[in-house]
Structure 1
Amino acid sequence: MDELQEEYFDWRQHNILTPVRDQKKCNCCWAIAAAGAIESLYNIVYKGQYNNILQAAPQHLIDCLNPNPRDIGPEECYTSTVRKAFKWILSNKGIAKEKDYQFNARRGNCKEFLERKSLIPIKGYEKVDIENLSSKIKEQPITCGIRITNELRRLRNIREFVM
């Protein structure tokens, strides 16, 4: 049991994380996860330098990252990956702040930011191996994706799967 407690770490107890966002019917979990990873790291590094917790804008990604047309769903949203989001943010020189680019969970027209200083920049990203996961989580919140397989899609009730 002591071993489990040593591994336990919860960023919610450190006033770093932003409120949970509801993606509604928009397949934008990738954009929310990417924005969450970036804002969390900024809130760790620059804690106390903002009046409130800094929030990055997943809507900026939803509107501006160019999807594959076959991935666009009924809400004009689309599936993508956190890695593609990070690559776009690097090439765009940053992601907008939530206060400048409100989340509405549907795809709209991309708003270009002429004032690059209003963007939240990143220097890069890295893939974390499962062996290093525990130590990385203690450095900063991380984001991950779960590949949904056909077998998982066929499950109608999670209880059937667990029992």
Structure 2
Amino acid sequence: PGEPEAKVWNRPPIDCNFPGGVELQEIVKYEFLEAKYLILETVAEEGAPLQTREEIYEINRKLVESHNRGPSGYKLQLNQFAHLTADEMKSFKGLRLSTVEGSKPHTHVDDDEVEELAKHLPDSWDWRDHGAVTRVKNQRMCGSCWAFSAIGCLEGAHFLKTGELVELPEQLLMDCSWDAGNGGCLGGDMSNALNWIKEVGGVTTSIQYGRYYAENGRCHLDKKHLISPIKNVTQVARSVNALKVALVNHGPLSVGIATPPDFQLYKNGVYKPSEWGETDHGVVLVGYGVLNGEKYWLVKNSWGENWGMEGYILISAEGDTLNILDSAYYVTMQ
């Protein structure tokens, strides 16, 4: 009572004529009210005036409509992030590339070998078709993208080595790899994580370690049940062909990318923004191809299936779009 009315997006009506329908309606009503008052909250980035959730949503609505009327090869949509500021979106990323000397893995560079192997690559590749990619996961509001990127790479390498696709625990890296320079929900570096796994001797399965909580926890790694021991962690040379060769021959890659403001609202198409900033998000590269004449990288994100193309994004493979060539890694197994 007394609160101003807020415009909110419409939710489809709930059919209550089934067992549990009335209870479901009450849950939806509660969520609706919660969303309404969420919109009425005020937020402000440093040095910026206060904005209500409704104002932020309206800004993004206009951005989506304006962009989608243009000639761009990709589309945007209003999604679960449409009411968040760019500053708030940092909590859904978390990549902090290490600058410590000697902390980076060795880079294998043999230009002649890469170019020769590239001649025999298929026109397109998708590791999902070959069984090396687990379901799309959701890091939620926790800066743990680096853990999801590293684990996605390791899951693929484990599959190539054993023929078994097993879900491995991001929570383990968040809880246990602090001495490698990572900080759980506060951010980390996937190369640090992969090298930590190499030193420890592997990880356990998600079932053995426990589910993902989207918060920092106490390490309870049981080293008696380690699997997926890593022999080497290698950084891929900074070229399109080197990335393709590494991807096809070594499985899904752990990569870092930059995320411009409209990245959070991506819907479909080949994402090719006009500009971007520093690398700030860890993802998993699982394939490449061509769509309507545009070459792309197929990338698995960790924002759930409701984002993008059921959790995936097509990133332009023209040049070093989003810095995708700068921080790419694969592992070889023992």
Q: TM-score range by the shorter chain?
A: 0.7 to 0.9
CA gap of 1:8–1:103, structure 2 versus 1, over 3 A, is same
Identify the residue that residue 65 of structure 1 maps to in structure 2.
177
Identify the residue that residue 96 of structure 1 maps to in structure 2.
204
Deviation at 1:119, TM superposition (A): 3.4
Query: Could you list the per-position Cα deviations for residues 28-51 of structure 1 after superposition, in whole angstroms to 9, with x for gaps in the alignment?
Result: 11101111111111112211xx4x
Structure 2: how far apart are the matches of 1:68 and 1:84?
6
Q: Aligned pair 1:16/2:132, yes or no?
A: yes
Q: Aligned pair 1:141/2:249, yes or no?
A: no
Report if the CA contact (8 A) 1:35-1:57 is conserved: yes
Larger mean CA deviation between 124-133 and 22-31 belongs to: 124-133
Structure 2: how far apart are the matches of 1:120 and 1:68?
18
CA gap of 1:54–1:121, structure 2 versus 1, over 3 A, is same
TM-score (norm 2): 0.39
Structure 2: how far apart are the matches of 1:25 and 1:144?
20
Query: Could you list the per-position Cα deviations for residues 123-150 of structure 1 after superposition, in whole angstroms to 9, with x for gaps in the alignment?
Result: 12100013311111111111101256xx
CA gap of 1:103–1:58, structure 2 versus 1, over 3 A, is same
Structure 2: how far apart are the matches of 1:108 and 1:144?
25
Query: Could you list the per-position Cα deviations for residues 8-35 of structure 1 after superposition, in whole angstroms to 9, with x for gaps in the alignment?
Result: 1011111221011100001111101111
% identical equivalent positions: 24
Question: In structure 2, the residue corresponding to 1:109 is in which secondary structure?
Answer: coil
Identify the residue that residue 120 of structure 1 maps to in structure 2.
228
Question: In structure 2, the residue corresponding to 1:108 is in which secondary structure?
Answer: coil
Report if the CA contact (8 A) 1:7-1:134 is conserved: no
Identify the residue that residue 42 of structure 1 maps to in structure 2.
158
Structure 2: how far apart are the matches of 1:44 and 1:119?
14
Deviation at 1:112, TM superposition (A): 3.0
Deviation at 1:118, TM superposition (A): 3.1
Structure 2: how far apart are the matches of 1:67 and 1:23?
22
Higher helix share: 1
Deviation at 1:67, TM superposition (A): 6.9
Report if the CA contact (8 A) 2:201-2:226 is conserved: no
Number of equivalences: 144
AA of the residue aligned to 2:149: A
Structure 1: how far apart are the matches of 2:134 and 2:235?
23
Q: Which has the larger radius of gyration?
A: 2
Structure 2: how far apart are the matches of 1:42 and 1:68?
22
Deviation at 1:108, TM superposition (A): 0.5
TM-score (norm 1): 0.76
Question: Which of these residues, 216, 226, 232, is aligned with residue 107 of structure 1?
Answer: 216
Q: 5+ unaligned residues in a row in structure 1: which ranges?
A: none
Question: Which of these residues, 149, 158, 171, is aligned with residue 33 of structure 1?
Answer: 149
Structure 1: how far apart are the matches of 2:253 and 2:234?
10
Question: In structure 1, the residue corresponding to 2:125 is in which secondary structure?
Answer: coil
The structure showing larger relative contact order (alpha-carbon pairs under 8 Å, at least 6 residues apart) is: 1
AA of the residue aligned to 1:85: A
Structure 2: how far apart are the matches of 1:119 and 1:6?
31
Structure 1: how far apart are the matches of 2:228 and 2:245?
25
Which structure 1 residue ranges, 4+ long, deviate > 6 Å from structure 2? none
Deviation at 1:68, TM superposition (A): 9.5
Alignment of 1:78-89 (within 5 A): 78-89=186-197
Higher strand share: 2
Q: 5+ unaligned residues in a row in structure 2: which ranges?
A: 1-118, 266-272, 276-334
